[in-house]
Structure 1
Amino acid sequence: MPLDPDAIDPVDRHVGARIREERTAAGVTQSQLGEAIGVTFQQVQKYERGTNRISASMIVRVANTLNVPLVSLFPGSGAQAAPAETLATLKGGRQLAEAFVAMTPRQRDALLSVATEFVGADKVASAPRAATLRAASR
């Protein structure tokens, strides 16, 4: 069965959808993104729908402009991305990370205790590592 050359590749559709998600989460319009990466807002629309393929160099520009890890724009990246990269892609994640960095070591310990209680200490896979990081940050 030959491939339909006019069909949108599922990977192109996924990358476009991820770009749209990250752009809207960042509060950036299609026009603003287009201007930042050197294309029109119509071209950004086509990238986001997957109707126009986006080059590797353009994907790098988009990721840098939106301040997201490049891997987060590709299929399967949710399961493969490190927790820090995943945090950066979540709504409020960047603000949480910035606030965490600005805290004192005591405040970080308190917030980490509360966070692990919310999800259950057994679900935090890196809890021993987090304790080591806390001790090293003092």
Structure 2
Amino acid sequence: MGRKAAAYRKISNTNKRSADERDVRIGQRLRTRRMELKISQQELGSALGVSFQQIQKYEKGVNRIGAARLVQLAEALDTNTGYFIGELEKGRGHESEFGEFLATREGVAIVEAMITIDEERVRRLIIDIARTLGALCKAA
């Protein structure tokens, strides 16, 4: 059996409808963008004609987002589809932990607070304080 047939068999043996790690990362980006814009799951669901539970499933990566729905989400969240699907190849970056944090209220709050600080020196001090506190928490 040739490589082409083996590759096809590998692809066809996977459940095409099951969500995978890429779906989780797309969901994290969806949640991050929604929270950036301060839109509730209910509001986004209403704009798309789906329930807030469906938005939750998209954000958790439980349900896959089809191409047409991804375009609707991008339009509703004033972005483009590339925002959601950029660099999803396996092994790219450290986005998993970073993306998970940015998709939390605390992550959004930290970023928003840091953006309001104009002085680079002050931002660096805050970063140093956060790193010191993190190290203390790990040591405890």
TM-score (norm 2): 0.50
**Which of 57, 60, 66 is equivalent to 1:46?**
57
Name the residue aligned to 1:59: 70
Q: Deviation per CA, 1:47-105, whole angstroms, max 9, x where unpaired?
A: 0111111111111011000101210111417x9xxxxxxxxxxx77xxxxxxxxxxxxx
Unpaired runs of 5+ in structure 2? 1-9, 93-110, 113-140
Name the residue aligned to 1:26: 37
TM-score (norm 1): 0.51
Aligned-pair Cα RMSD in Å: 2.9
Structure 1 outlier segments of 4+, above 4 Å: 1-7
1:23–1:66 CA contact under 8 A, matched in 2: yes
Change (3 A) 1:38 1:7: closer
> Comparing both chains, which one has the higher relative contact order based on Cα–Cα distances under 8 Å and sequence gaps of 6 or more?
2
- Aligned equivalents of 1:24 and 1:48: distance in 2? 11
**Number of corresponding residues:** 85
Unpaired runs of 5+ in structure 1? 80-90, 93-138
The percentage of counterpart residues that share the same residue type is 34
- Aligned equivalents of 2:18 and 2:55: distance in 1? 19
TM-fit CA distance, 1:6:
8.7
